[in-house]
Amino acid sequence: MISEHPEQSKHPERPEHFDAQGGETAALALKILVAGGFGVGKTTLVGAVSEIKPLRTEELLSEAGQSVDDTGGVDQKVTTTVAMDFGRITIRSGLSLYLFGTPGQDRFWFLWDELAQGALGAVVLADTRRLDDCFPAVDYFEHRHIPFVVAVNCFTGARRYTAQEVSRALDLDRGTPVVLCDARDRDSGKEVLIRLVEYAGRMHTARLLDSVG
């Protein structure tokens, strides 16, 4: 879940991190999943926030996939992620997030278990025009006790709902955060990720205390 690199100062090509007293600290890299239904904006979010050129595994939609891929509501979408998206963002000095965007189509769900290994938490992107499409992702993380936040991607022209309305519609467990965002905007996406890290940190701390109590 958390990768520590205490040897970082031995490599001059890597940045060093220091605490307030000037002492060297270990860099942390946290693994985050970006999940949700087909065409909800996962690739867009990863690309918007990543400080490196994102790795994308998109392919053109084909006639062969028309019978299994539901493109209703996203008729203009011409590509789909067939493996994963990958990006990286530095939240603060010494803390980076590695972002893994999951494929949204049912036929690629066998990849989710591999991607979820070691993840601190997940962002479930939701489109209020196709809210049912994010139920599988919500169920997946709830059943595996992986902390997640629901980020409502506010598409132009879509009816707006409050976070409380979305939470009730998805029947989320009490306390699961719901945030409104624009997946195209870097600052908006970064706020979603910060909210997730804070929430996941509280959840993991609570579980640790329960286990030793």
Residue 79 in this model has a pLDDT that exceeds 90? no
Question: Mind listing the pLDDT tens digit for each residue in 27-64?
Answer: 899 999 999 988 899 999 999 999 999 887 654 444 44
- CA–CA dist 110, 75 (Å, integer): 25
Mean pLDDT of the chain: 81
CB atoms within 10 A of CB 169: 15
Rounded Cα gap, residues 173 and 32, in angstroms: 20
What average pLDDT does this structure show over 147-151?
98
Q: Which residues pair with 124 in a beta bridge?
A: 35, 150
Question: How high is the pLDDT of residue 1?
Answer: 47
Q: What is residue 27's predicted lDDT score, i.e. its pLDDT? A: 87
Bigger pLDDT: 213 or 118? 118
Q: Residue 180: which residues within 8 A CB-CB, separation 6 or more?
A: 151, 152, 154, 163
The string of pLDDT tens digits covering residues 161-173 is: 999 999 999 999 9
Please give the average per-residue pLDDT across 9-25, as a whole number: 45
- Contact present, 94 and 30 (Cβ < 8 Å): no
User: Which residue would you say has higher pLDDT here, 175 or 6?
Assistant: 175
- pTM, rounded to two decimals: 0.77
Instruction: Give φ, ψ of 41 to 5 degrees.
Output: 115, 20
Give the pLDDT score at 167. Answer: 97
Amino acid at 58: E
pLDDT at 32: 98
Rounded to 5 degrees, φ, ψ at 91 are: -80, -40
For 206-211, what is the mean pLDDT? 91
Question: Can you tell me the distance from the alpha carbon of 87 to that of 57, in angstroms, rounded to the nearest whole number?
Answer: 12
Percent share of the chain, pLDDT over 70: 71
Distance CA 84, CA 102 (A): 5
pLDDT tens digits, residue range 91-142? 989 999 999 998 866 666 778 899 999 999 999 999 999 999 999 999 999 9
- 55 or 15, greater pLDDT: 55
Spatial CB neighbours of 140, under 8 Å, sequence gap ≥ 6: 35, 112
| C-alpha to C-alpha distance for 30 and 170, rounded to whole angstroms | 27
Residue with tokens 């699961």: 176
Q: Encoding tokens for residue 152?
A: 């409502």
Gyration radius of the chain over CA positions: 18
